[in-house]
Amino acid sequence: MNLRQVEAFRLIMLRGSMTAAAQELHTSQPSISRLIAELEASTELRLFERKAGRLTPTDEGLTFYREVERSFLGLENLAQAAKDIRFFGTGRLRIAAMPAVALGFVPRCIRVFKERYPNVTISLQMRSEATVTRWSSSHYCDIGFVANIVGSPSIEVRHLYSLPGYCALPPGHRLASREVIVPEDLEGESFISLALEDGARARVDRVFERLGVKRQLALESPFGATICALVGQGLGIGIVNPIVADDYRHTGITFRPFKPAIVFEGNALFPTHHEANVLVDGFLQIVRDALRQYEPAE
């Protein structure tokens, strides 16, 4: 058995005919037929029924195909790994972050960091939390920033913040004169929610459900920045991370404290057993220093 035979078999299963498989492999139909015959001989399996010039996979062929797909999935994972390595390059400090902090907060921290370490090359990638987590566990980044954490032996987690969210109101909204927004204020209002998989979404929904307050849930987005953009267009009200709110205070959106507090979490991720790195430690300290501005005044 060789890879060319297996590839021909897989393409027949995917494309439905030897002719289509031959076109994709840039060869002839007789060559594909020969490869399948050799594969059947080497595996001692009858992979196809041949009737009226058509190929129909046998039960053995279908079972063998499932194993082939598992093997090709492994190859595709390797290809994705190579792509990730190429994408990140060889930056001295590689940062991956969720959009909530990647759009404004982390760049501000990078500015401070570059003042101290002007010759360090930095790679900043904004990705979903799932991708940041995967990259952190696979050593594709030196430090990752997420809100929701998934327990994994390949990841070390350091908690960064637990901050109360802000209610984001469209420009000129009737509630803009309020000092604090409470759930009852939003009865019947169009509300822009976070995605269902976000832990903060569940915390928001529980508050309104407990009090019996009905909102018009017409829009949702996994990203606080997108929620702010939609609020800015007058499409509804949202509750967002205060770090995100800072990036949109110049847009005309009004931000007010929301009670009871909806807590937004932030965590730093590192590969387990990562080597001590003065640049990573230095950047993390800058992040912690920058987060002090969000601590409630005593």
Q: Catalogue all structural domains in the chain, each as residue range(s) with its CATH number.
A: 3-83 (1.10.10.10), 90-162+265-294 (3.40.190.10), 166-261 (3.40.190.290)
pLDDT at 197: 81
Residue 102: pLDDT over 70: yes
Percent of the chain with pLDDT over 70: 93
| Average of per-residue pLDDT across 270-295 | 87
Per-residue pLDDT band at 90 (split at 50, 70, 90): very low
| Average of per-residue pLDDT across 154-170 | 94
pLDDT at 277: 78
| Average of per-residue pLDDT across 248-263 | 93
Per-residue pLDDT band at 119 (split at 50, 70, 90): confident
Please tell me the least confidently modeled range out of 24-28, 84-88, 210-214.
Answer: 84-88
pLDDT in tens, 8-19: 988 998 888 898
Per-residue pLDDT band at 86 (split at 50, 70, 90): low
- Whole-prediction pTM value? 0.66
| Residue of higher predicted confidence among 272 and 146 | 146
pLDDT at 236: 96
CA-wise closest residue to 105 among 233, 268, 222, 229: 268
Q: How far apart are CA 134 and CA 69, in angstroms?
A: 22
| Residue of higher predicted confidence among 103 and 55 | 103
The amino acid present at 240, given as its one-letter code, is: V
Q: What is the mean pLDDT of the chain?
A: 88
pLDDT at 272: 84
Residue 94: pLDDT over 60: yes
| Average of per-residue pLDDT across 161-175 | 95
Residue 88: pLDDT over 50: no
